[in-house]
Amino acid sequence: MNDTSRFIAIIGGGPAGLMAAHKLLEMGYRVHLYDAKPSVARKFQLAGRGGLNLTHSEPLDVFATRYYENEARFTTLLKKFTPNDLRDFCHVLGQDTFIGSSGRVFPTKFKATELLRAWLSDLSIKGLKLFTRHKWIGFDQQKNLLIEDAENQIITISPQATLLALGGASWGKLGSDAAWVPTLTKEEVNIEPLEAANCGYETRWPQSVPESCFGSPLKNITLTHADKTTKGEIMLSSYGLEGGAVYALSKSIREAINKDLSTTVLIDLKPKHSKERLTKILEEREKHLPLGKFLKQELRLSSFSLSLLKALTSKEEFNCPKALSEKIKSLPVNLYKARPIDRAISTAGGIKFDACTDDLMLKRLPGIFVAGEMLDWEAPTGGYLLQGCFSMAVHVAQGVDHYLREQSQEI
């Protein structure tokens, strides 16, 4: 039986913090969770407004590749708490899930609100003590936690162990404001600078791009950067490009911009047509039909696609079948800057894994564990971010349990 006269502190009420709390409560520990905001999981709720993409149904060996250079690490983490485990967890809470046509997994009711409400109710029944409007501001000289409460009073707490799950630096107004970086830097924790990930990128559109294009999607396209190509959708904006296809290549684009100050992506407006086939179709066009109308009717280019194609193609290219087919298949857009980090879906960078033990306890701060976006990893959208946070939280909860058992044996 665990010693219930003391408690474990979790700082941050996002997906990682809540899942770690769930697992630790199941193990029999007392858990106190502190969040700076009036309510928890605000970014989680924002993500669920358009349909909460919880995870993905693809095989684990493929799933793990979505974490780039951290593939081996996440291969281990995903086995601790798999996408199927996550679906079972939702079902136990009374929230059914389904697999969409893209393989992504969603709650049947599609929103985060009901799932979160059921989850918080379950945590309360299990004994979670939740403290909202309680902000962690650092350590005292003995490495106890300093918390600023709802009345702006500073209180000191001395938990058996602490989990920091404070998120990265995107959507700071919802809680992930990276205020923890100076505190842990002062403790000489190795932190990679935080950068925007899964974000839009800026370009300098020519004046010939009509404003009617902005806010419009380019659907059923492919986007290529370097040697990587992805299918999906792009949203045209006055500042550049957004959308799932851009997010899937966000890491590659960001790294190229960091290195060369700008980079070029290629949009294929007709992925199912070869360049040779397009050239032949254009060459055989009946001249009495205007080219723009022909592209709409015969190639089914949307008005937005056609407007963008015209704006990024010279008059000579537009009227040459071979040159035009080349542009339809690989329309170049130069990108030079990521959108502000606070508007990104997620962030790259954070606490380096080599600053932690295998159980994700900070080497310089025994008893202090970290999880979620605070760590230096990233993944594209599609359920990989949430699944990564959930799997990591389960792993860390087991690590906290292992640490406390070892501590009790030393006493």
Q: How far apart are CA 146 and CA 174, in angstroms?
A: 21
Closest CA to 370 of 228, 217, 162: 162
- Report yes or no: 381 and 345 within 8 Å, Cβ to Cβ: yes
- 81-103: pLDDT as tens digits: 999 999 999 999 999 999 999 99
Region 30-57: mean pLDDT is 91
Closest CA to 330 of 224, 188, 217: 224
Q: How far apart are CA 346 and CA 391, in angstroms?
A: 17
- CA dihedral (105, 111, 113, 114) positive or negative: negative
Which has the minimum average pLDDT: 43-57, 128-142, 270-284, 353-367? 43-57
- Report yes or no: 122 and 25 within 8 Å, Cβ to Cβ: no
- 344-371: pLDDT as tens digits: 999 999 999 999 999 999 999 999 999 9
Model confidence at 3, pLDDT cuts 50, 70, 90, reads: very low
Q: How far apart are CA 330 and CA 208, in angstroms?
A: 19
Quick one: pLDDT at residue 132?
97
Domains within the chain, CATH numbers bracketed: 8-196+346-410 (3.50.50.60), 201-338 (no CATH)
Q: How far apart are CA 30 and CA 24, in angstroms?
A: 8
Closest CA to 275 of 325, 313, 324: 325
Average pLDDT, the chain: 94
Exposure of 91 by Cβ count < 10 A (0-12 exposed, 13-18 middle, 19+ buried)? exposed
Region 63-68: mean pLDDT is 97
Which has the minimum average pLDDT: 18-32, 93-107, 276-290? 276-290
| 373 DSSP assignment | G
- Tokens representing residue 193 in the block: 């600078």
Interior CA angle at 73 toward 227 and 228, to 5°? 10
Closest CA to 11 of 127, 148, 152, 171: 148
Q: How far apart are CA 209 and CA 281, in angstroms?
A: 26
pTM assigned to the model = 0.93
